[in-house]
């Protein structure tokens, strides 16, 4: 904000030092085309009176005064812009999810809230070790019921679903263990293996849990992911859905995004990095491990940058309006 001075007079101090020039003009008769009454020569009486056009002494015109809109209008613009920005971010960038069960203990506890990056997989592929949110549609179920038969209601239902304000689908949160074409098996020397490479899961597995209470060996179908909870003894994950479509694996198309940060409660705020065991060179073909380590930090920085790009036009618009008013 700019602070105005105490006064802002256009006239010098000598302009108001004496009334004599006014008296002289009053007795001297017309001068420079003006009558003593202040009317321009040749004009009908009553027009162009100097008194009607004079500003009060000691005051200057305020170009901004009278041009500002009502406060409620500016407030409404701010609220609408904020709501639109929130919907855009929620629909395409970041969304908050609440943890509903104990299947991801101790990584994620019931009631905690996580930020899910909906945009990251447009820039890099899903990686082993990612914690993802996905829909049970066409895999674990239950499938969403058919939408309303009325086309108008169906349109609004689709719009609300697209912006994340309404959904009839069931969502799950698990850790990615196997990618398309991977052979995931258990247990070799008491460990889960991916393509024969054993995973060291002590950093995220629930204390006291075995990698699996029973043996299995599957090849992940194309376009699918093998996912498991960190609380293996209390997680209904891919191991228990082998009779469903995908033989337990979930479709990549149903993945909402990657959970990358815990935001609630405040005592648990922190990121959700990819465990180091998934960066073994044998899993990624050598150089892929380095590439994975590079992109692992993208979701946080990328989301913040994109949100800033979306919000920049609104801030610039507000700044331009303020500069015009001054």
Query: Nearest CA to 110 among 195, 217, 14, 229?
Result: 229
Q: Which helix (H) or strand (E) holds 250?
A: strand 250-251
Active site residue 98: no
Which one of 135, 139, 174, 235 is the catalytic residue? Answer: 174
Residues whose CB falls within 8 Å of the CB of residue 56, separated by 6 or more in sequence, listed in order: none
Angstrom distance (rounded) from CA 292 to CA 177:
15
- For residue 38, report the phi and psi dihedrals to the nearest 5 degrees: 100, 0
For residues 243 and 139, is the Cβ–Cβ distance under 8 A? no
Please, how many CA atoms are within 13 Å of residue 16, restricted to the half-sphere of its CB?
8
Q: Is 103 exposed, middle or buried, given 0-12, 13-18 or 19+ CB atoms closer than 10 A?
A: buried
Which one of 17, 91, 101, 103 is the catalytic residue? Answer: 103
Active site residue 103: yes
Looking at the DSSP assignment, which residues form a beta bridge with residue 96? 115
Angstrom distance (rounded) from CA 228 to CA 177:
7
**To 10 degrees, what angle do helices 298-325 and 71-92 make?**
160
Angstrom distance (rounded) from CA 169 to CA 302:
28
Looking at the DSSP assignment, which residues form a beta bridge with residue 129? none
Catalytic residues: 103, 174
């Amino acid at each position: 904000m700019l602070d105005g001075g105490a006064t802002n007079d256009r006239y010098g101090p000598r302009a108001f030092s004496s009334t004599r020039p006014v008296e002289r003009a009053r007795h001297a008769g017309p001068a420079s085309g003006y009558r003593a009454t202040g009317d321009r020569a040749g004009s009908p009486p009553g027009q162009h009176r100097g008194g009607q056009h004079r500003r009060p002494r000691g005051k200057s015109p305020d170009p901004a005064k009278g041009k500002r809109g009502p406060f409620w209008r500016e407030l409404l613009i701010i609220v609408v812009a904020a709501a639109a920005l929130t919907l855009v971010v929620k629909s395409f960038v970041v969304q908050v999810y609440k943890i509903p069960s104990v299947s991801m203990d101790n990584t994620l506890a019931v009631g905690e809230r996580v930020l899910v990056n909906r945009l990251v997989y447009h820039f890099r592929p899903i990686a082993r070790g990612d914690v993802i949110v996905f829909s049970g549609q066409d895999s674990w179920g239950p499938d969403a019921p058919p939408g309303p038969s009325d086309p108008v209601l169906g349109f609004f239902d689709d719009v609300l679903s697209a912006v994340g304000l309404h959904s009839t689908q069931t969502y799950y949160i698990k850790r990615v263990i196997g990618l398309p074409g991977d052979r995931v098996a258990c247990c070799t020397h008491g460990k889960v293996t991916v393509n024969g490479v054993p995973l060291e899961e002590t950093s995220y597995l629930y204390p006291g849990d075995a990698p699996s209470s029973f043996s299995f060996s599957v090849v992940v179908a194309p376009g699918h992911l093998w996912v498991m909870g960190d609380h293996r003894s209390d997680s209904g994950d891919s191991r228990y859905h082998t009779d469903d479509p995908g033989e337990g694996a979930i479709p990549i198309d149903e993945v909402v995004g990657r959970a990358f940060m815990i935001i609630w409660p405040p005592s648990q705020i922190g990121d959700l990095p990819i465990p180091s065991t998934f960066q073994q060179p044998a899993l990624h073909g050598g150089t892929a491990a380095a590439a994975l380590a590079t992109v692992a930090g993208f979701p946080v920085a990328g989301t913040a940058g994109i949100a800033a790009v979306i919000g920049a036009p609104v801030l610039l618009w507000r700044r331009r309006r303020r500069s015009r008013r001054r």
